Amino acid sequence: MITTITIFFPLVAAVVMLAFPRTADARTVRYTALGLAAVPFLLTLYIYFRHRGDLGAPSLTQDVNWIEALGIGYRVGLDGLGFGMFFLSALLTLIAVVASWDVRENLKQYFGILFIAEVGMLGVFAAQDLILFYVFFEITLIPMYLLVGVWGDENRRPAAVKFFIYTFLGSTVMLAGFLALGILSGPNFSIDALNGGGLPRGAQVAIAAPILFGLLVKTPAVPLHSWLLDVYVSSPTSTNVVLSGILPKLGTYGLLKVALPLLPQGVEPYLPIIAALGVVNIIYGSFVAFMQPDLKALVAYSSIGTLGFILLGVASGNAVGLNGAVMQQVTHGLYSALLFILVGVIASRAGTRNIRELGGMAARMPWAGGLLALGALAAMGMPGLAVFVSEFMSIMGGFVAYPIAGALAALGIILSVMYLSYMLRRTIFGPAPERPALAAATDAGPVEMSAVVPLAFLLVLLGIFPGLLISVQRPAVELLLAAIGGS
């Protein structure tokens, strides 16, 4: 029951926000939203400390018949594959509320829509039924379209439309695969019942194609990525937090939870392609990031590159790579949210995101500059920070399965060090250009610091003690390996 309460409490929060009178002052709205966003986060903390040893197979489950004749049910539960992202969804929604300083109009509507999106995000990582997975997957679509299209910058509408078209097309194709799998299996749409794959190999191969396509669009894998840059650059800072930290993982988590265990023979022929796409993401994201004058665009392409490590780990089919992929979902969410928030802070203080027009942040904004450096070091895979552990595991697992892909992925780390070091040299340590806005720039205040310090803390904590997360996910990864016949 606690899983269902955690998933749907944000819906109650959305109703509360939308019920505020028009005359309510912004301070009251913000503090109420903050209190409401804290509830799912505290519930996930309770689940971690009380039940973290029980998350091998799905635990804290609830199973209620929904459309009995078709084998469709309201089936939710938590396991080690999804719990890290379940926790991160609650955390980043809370962080997004704190980081909403750049949202000043229609505030109660903004928070209400954000909470509806949280329902979809939490639901995906707890769903144990294919149709329910799809429903929660789609619940995120309209809220994110509105958060970008209404509250974004001057290019928000074309960016939101592109996001809607790409992701709706991908999820519709994915649904066709879900329907084929469920109908040919009974009908039965229970993920637990379908685990291990019971269909002939040829049927699995055919069904896997649309499911993989839909999930790779959401990730996004290059060349299905063109919606991502426009959306990231056009979104307000608080929307960037959940867009970068959570939305791409709906796709990668689907690979781990649905595609691999339910269609093991069907996905097998596509694994080398997924590994290759992962390497393309890593190399392409790194090279294009080199050419970005916009600080936010650089972070966006860095995010594309880091997602490639998840794809490589998924394709490895071994314990090291899969554990790396599951952990990388969380570590990527932490560092990308941290960097996007800090980019927003710097842009609001300095009046620009152009890297060539920035400089001297270490002197003018020591806290923001120092934390930006920490986030960049995490994105590079610096030892002692959480991303190093997950990337190293993904590369090692990928190298065992695909030596050339693993070697190229390691090259991607070197490239990320190069372009992120350049960014830090220009923005933090470089000479400050003569600009009045830059000369008057002040450091991050208490509100901004309260949004980024928890993310920085977790990056350090999981870098030093990765077992806090790996111990939760490992039993579920072992069950996944048993389902796909890996080792």
* Mean of all residue pLDDT scores within the chain: 90
Q: What percent of the chain has pLDDT over 90?
A: 62
- Which pLDDT score, from 0 to 100, does residue 22 have? 81
Q: Are 181 and 262 in contact (CB under 8 A)?
A: yes
Query: Looking at the DSSP assignment, which residues form a beta bridge with residue 76?
Result: 62, 127
Q: Which has more confidence, 68 or 313?
A: 313
Question: Does the reported pTM lie above 0.85?
Answer: yes
Q: Is the pLDDT of residue 455 over 70?
A: yes
Q: How confident is the model at residue 439 (pLDDT cuts 50, 70, 90)?
A: low
- Which pLDDT score, from 0 to 100, does residue 385 have? 95
Q: Picking from 94-98, 298-302, 321-325, which range would have the lowest pLDDT averaged per residue?
A: 298-302
